[in-house]
Structure 1
Amino acid sequence: MPVYTVHAPSPGGADLRATDKFVFVRDGFHFWAMVLGPFWLLWHRLWLALIGWIVFLGAFDAGLHSIGIGRSSIFFANVIVALLMGLEASSLRRWTLSRGKWRQLDIVVADNRDTAERRFFERWSQKQHGIVNDQWAVDRGGPPPTRGVPGEQFSNPPPIPAGGIIGLFPEPGGSR
């Protein structure tokens, strides 16, 4: 089953108004990136990757030709480079997104892109609803809330022991 990474355009966090700009990048082999490498890079607007691919392939072919490798061997070497392009196309796309200050939000496993979007947005909207409209949230960093109800045992916090130490620690200055 394919794995998709989800990227958002804002570096500070995902915004509900920008959900139409989220990008789902499928991990795995991309056939069209292997067959039509530079056109695939142009289609996905991967300009630096395209320049790097052109420079690398030109230098690679010139280097092989200068050491006397035959045309058929250079062709097979280019096929291997094209295969590597198909394998690493999604990594190049994620790299370009990270350079553009995009943030990876999640990883989704789904059969196709539509299912991945549905699964991601179901999970993400539940998280957003919990963050924005959670009236029952409790701050776990502070002490439990106390109520000023006279006569109830929970209305005041428990008293601190005489030595000022709570737990299994020894008394200050005592023997070990």
Structure 2
Amino acid sequence: MPVYTVHAPLAVGRESVPATDRFVFVRDGFHFWAFVAGLIWLIWHRLWLALLGYVVLSIIGEVTLSLLGAGAGIRIAVMGLFALLMGFEAATLRRWTLSRRKWHQIDVVAAADEESAERRFFERWTAQRSAVNDLSATDRGAPPPTRHSPGQPFSRPPSGAREEIIGLFPQPGASR
């Protein structure tokens, strides 16, 4: 089953949540059209720096192969391998461009197609937003919750647990 990464732009101004119609789903895996027509695929997805790198590497490859006196079969094989690399790394180039544009990866979804991935993501996202009402909770860079929150059942260790700990834990109040 394909895996999709979900990317969202930064919230602008007073918005705490970015516009959900701008979320981008990037499928991981081999992209056939990037393999067959890499130049057009890069233009279609507006990956301008990747397009520049693609053109520069293609020119360098052709010039190098012509200086080495390689035949037509070798040139086709090398450019075919370059196109194969483009097909495999197309999703990585999209993610890299989105991160350069200050977009955040907010989730990973496994689904059969992009529509199913969107449905699955938004079902989970709306349930989480209604429970927490905070987008930063889905941000993978957020610190973990603290254990000493008042009113939480797991805040206080069981009585006598400090003396019974076995292992390489530091003793409370001991020098390090």
Same fold, TM exceeding 0.5? yes
Q: Secondary structure at the match of 2:27?
A: strand
Retained in 2: the 8 A contact 1:2–1:109? yes
Q: How far apart in 2 are the matches of 1:125 and 1:11? A: 17
Map 1:118-137 → 2, pairs under 5 A: 118-132=119-133
Deviation per CA, 1:35-72, whole angstroms, max 9, x where unpaired?
11010000000000000000011001111110111122
TM-score, reference length from structure 1? 0.75
**Runs of 5+ consecutive residues of structure 2 not aligned to the other structure:** 135-145, 153-160, 164-170
**Quick check: 2:11–2:17 contact (8 Å CA) kept in 1?**
no
| CA RMSD across the alignment | 2.7
Shift of 1:170: 9.3
Partners of 2:38 and 2:172 in 1: CA distance? 70
Q: 1:21 is matched with which residue?
A: 22
> Aligned-pair distance for 1:9?
0.5
Q: Which runs of 5+ in 1 are unaligned?
A: 134-138, 146-165
Matches within 5 A, 1:47-58: 47-58=48-59
Alignment partners' CA distance in 2, 1:2 and 1:125: 22
Matches within 5 A, 1:114-153: 114-132=115-133, 141-144=148-151
Structure 1 pair 107/79, CA: closer, same or farther in 2 (3 Å)? Answer: same
TM-superposed CA distance for 1:167, in Å, is 4.3
Partner of residue 155, structure 2 = none
Give the residue type in structure 2 aligned to 1:3.
V
Larger Rg: 1
2:139 maps to none
Q: Which TM-score applies when normalising by structure 2?
A: 0.75
Q: CA deviation at 1:31?
A: 0.6
What's 1:91 paired with? 92
CA distance in 1, matches of 2:124, 2:173: 50
